[in-house]
């Protein structure tokens, strides 16, 4: 009989792990609490409009290709990709913006126009970022985060200083222009921490941005989720939705089964892609590895206030990805990390995918997603959401010189309370735990439980960290770890027993 692996959750990391494990002969079942799969990357459909509820930026296409090539496939077997041009647009004031195009030569020109001599600095910066990218992808991010020695290779030894300086310091050393500095600091926000707390080595995100570019999968990020599901089904994975796991049953330091909707499902190995803190709360206290103090001392990535809006006209002066940096970056960052509170003047990001992909909105209409990063754990009320919706719509109207308030057909919001309710997220974090120096690689929560022999974890709380490409990688490395440890010889059974406790 095959070794039975149950996986909690159906986000990118769980789907990735499911594919690898099923390919290698395990009997894999995914248990997802929600009605739809995809986790943070679910989709919302309303009145003919479509929204990616979470990720919208498709970066590091090589990681996606590497994933599909492990199954002798390519992304093009499942979805088509377009390189966006412009990649994105950044507003600094009324009708005052910088556009980042789709190739580095064009970006050099934009920098040079903004600050004389900056294109030379940018070339040096991106050359170093590319070196870091190559090292990160080849030597680091596919490591399981077990030992500090994983960070020490013939190439990284010369880069160790970059773990002790920060992106902010590096950028400020080379660029005087504050607008250019903000553009170079923006990519590390994906890692969930302030540029002043993110090691310089992570400048590889700048190479992902300027060197590799920004892509759009036709029909959006949820199409990638659908593709992973197709691949998983081809490989024999079983899916159960509306199947929340309520308890993990451990006997003699081994998971024997899980309970979902009151039923007991036996398994040989349990892998959780749900948020780490929540997964441990499904165990009796003595089997948990990390205390409440451990979690409360960690730097979490921000939560977000999101709005999904249908407009009854096409909008002007915006791009598929548009950033609104027309207020002070440091003050907002301070309200996320140092002095958690709702920011008076928030930075925000907006995505208008219907500009490039007609599947997102009916003809002559626009679909928009707005995102304001927030500290996790803040108060979240309908009144506060409304105040911030008005703030950003007013700002958008002002900086892009158009009236849009009268063209809103509907809006849906999603914030801290929804992250907790829908994903069991710790304090409502949107994308896991930040990649600061003390929360990198072997210093992150472990893929394999130290207390329960056949319990594993994957996803944005573990290695390598937040983001869709890291989630795909996390699924791969945990599946390798599972294969490395001899599967436990507990007889597996498909029998569903009633839980009687």
Ligand X SMILES: Cc1cc2nc3c(=O)[nH]c(=O)nc-3n(C[C@H](O)[C@H](O)[C@H](O)COP(=O)(O)OP(=O)(O)OC[C@H]3O[C@@H](n4cnc5c(N)ncnc54)[C@H](O)[C@@H]3O)c2cc1C
Residues that bind ligand X (CB under 6 A): 8-14, 31-34, 39-41, 54-57, 244-245, 273-274, 278, 304, 306, 371, 423-424, 430-432, 459-460, 466-468, 471
Residue 451 beta carbon to ligand X: minimum distance, rounded to whole angstroms: 19
Residue 411 beta carbon to ligand X: minimum distance, rounded to whole angstroms: 16
366: left (phi over 0), alpha (psi -120 to 50) or beta: beta
- Would you say 185 and 325 are in contact if contact means Cβ atoms under 8 Å apart? no
Nearer to ligand X, 143 or 159 (CB): 143
Residue 88 beta carbon to ligand X: minimum distance, rounded to whole angstroms: 11
Residue 221 beta carbon to ligand X: minimum distance, rounded to whole angstroms: 7
- Which H, E and C letters describe 193-258, residue by residue? CCHHHCEHHHHHHHHHHHHHCCEEECCCHHHHHHHHHHHHHHCCCEEECCCCEEEEEEECCEEEEE
Residue 74 beta carbon to ligand X: minimum distance, rounded to whole angstroms: 19
Nearer to ligand X, 247 or 391 (CB): 247
CA dihedral 71, 74, 75, 76 (to 10 degrees): -140
Nearer to ligand X, 195 or 432 (CB): 432
Residue 15 beta carbon to ligand X: minimum distance, rounded to whole angstroms: 8
281: left (phi over 0), alpha (psi -120 to 50) or beta: alpha
Nearer to ligand X, 195 or 273 (CB): 273
Query: How is residue 331 written in tokens?
Result: 């003050």
**Using alpha carbons only, what angle is made at residue 241 by residues 239 and 244, rounded to the nearest 5 degrees?**
115
Residue 48 beta carbon to ligand X: minimum distance, rounded to whole angstroms: 22
- Would you say 341 and 303 are in contact if contact means Cβ atoms under 8 Å apart? no
Nearer to ligand X, 88 or 111 (CB): 88
- Helix residue ranges, H only, 56-208: 61-69, 104-114, 118-135, 167-174, 178-185, 204-206
Please report how many Cα atoms fall inside a 13 Å half-sphere around the Cα of residue 385, on the Cβ side. 18
Nearer to ligand X, 371 or 452 (CB): 371
Nearer to ligand X, 111 or 419 (CB): 419
Residue 121 beta carbon to ligand X: minimum distance, rounded to whole angstroms: 27
Q: Which residue has tokens 């590895």?
A: 289
Q: What is the DSSP letter of 283?
A: S
Among 192, 206, 224, which Cα is nearest to 78's?
A: 224
Nearer to ligand X, 85 or 153 (CB): 85
């Amino acid at each position: 009989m095959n070794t039975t692996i149950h996986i909690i959750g159906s986000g990118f990391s769980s789907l990735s792990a499911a594919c690898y494990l099923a390919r290698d002969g395990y009997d894999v079942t995914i248990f997802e609490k929600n009605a739809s799969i995809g986790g943070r990357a679910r989709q919302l459909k309303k009145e003919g409009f479509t929204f990616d509820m979470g990720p919208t930026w498709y970066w590091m296409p090589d990681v996606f290709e590497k994933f599909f090539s492990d199954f002798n496939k390519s992304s093009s077997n499942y979805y088509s990709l377009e390189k966006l041009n412009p990649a994105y647009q950044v507003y600094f004031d009324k009708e005052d913006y910088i556009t980042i195009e789709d190739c580095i030569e064009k970006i050099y020109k934009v920098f040079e126009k903004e600050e004389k001599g900056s294109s030379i600095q940018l070339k040096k910066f991106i050359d170093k970022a590319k070196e870091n990218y190559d090292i990160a992808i080849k030597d680091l991010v596919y490591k399981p985060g077990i030992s500090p020695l994983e960070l020490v290779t013939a190439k990284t030894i010369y880069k160790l200083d970059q773990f002790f300086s920060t992106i902010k310091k590096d950028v400020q050393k080379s660029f005087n222009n504050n607008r250019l500095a903000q553009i170079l600091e923006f990519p590390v926000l994906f890692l969930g921490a302030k540029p002043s707390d993110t090691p310089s080595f992570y400048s590889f995100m700048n190479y992902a941005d300027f060197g590799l570019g920004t892509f759009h999968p036709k029909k959006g990020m949820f199409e990638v989720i659908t593709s992973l599901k197709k691949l998983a089904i081809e490989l024999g994975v079983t899916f159960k939705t509306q199947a929340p796991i309520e308890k993990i049953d451990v006997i003699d330091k081994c998971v024997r089964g899980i309970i979902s909707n009151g039923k007991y499902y036996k398994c040989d190995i349990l892998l959780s892609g749900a948020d780490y803190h929540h997964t441990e709360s499904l165990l009796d206290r003595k089997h948990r590895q990390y205390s409440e103090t451990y979690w409360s001392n960690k730097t979490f990535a921000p939560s977000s206030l999101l709005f999904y809006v249908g407009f009854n006209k096409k909008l002007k002066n915006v791009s598929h990805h548009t950033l609104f940096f027309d207020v002070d970056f440091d003050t907002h960052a301070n309200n996320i990390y140092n002095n958690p509170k709702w920011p008076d003047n928030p930075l925000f990001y907006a995505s208008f995918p219907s500009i490039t992909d007609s599947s997102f909105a009916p003809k002559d209409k626009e679909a928009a997603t707005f995102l304001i990063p927030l500290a996790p754990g803040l108060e979240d009320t309908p009144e506060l959401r409304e105040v911030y919706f008005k703030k950003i719509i007013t700002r958008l109207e002002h900086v892009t010189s158009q009236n849009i308030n009268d063209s809103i057909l509907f809006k849906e919001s999603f914030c801290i309370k929804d992250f907790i309710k829908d994903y069991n997220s710790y304090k409502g974090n949107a994308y896991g735990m930040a990649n600061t120096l003390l929360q990198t690689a072997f210093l992150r929560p472990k893929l394999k439980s130290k207390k329960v022999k056949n319990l594993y974890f994957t996803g944005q709380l573990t290695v390598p960290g937040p983001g869709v490409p890291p989630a795909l990688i996390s699924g791969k490395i945990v599946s390798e770890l599972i294969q490395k440890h001899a599967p436990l010889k507990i007889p597996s059974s498909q029998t569903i027993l009633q839980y009687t406790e």
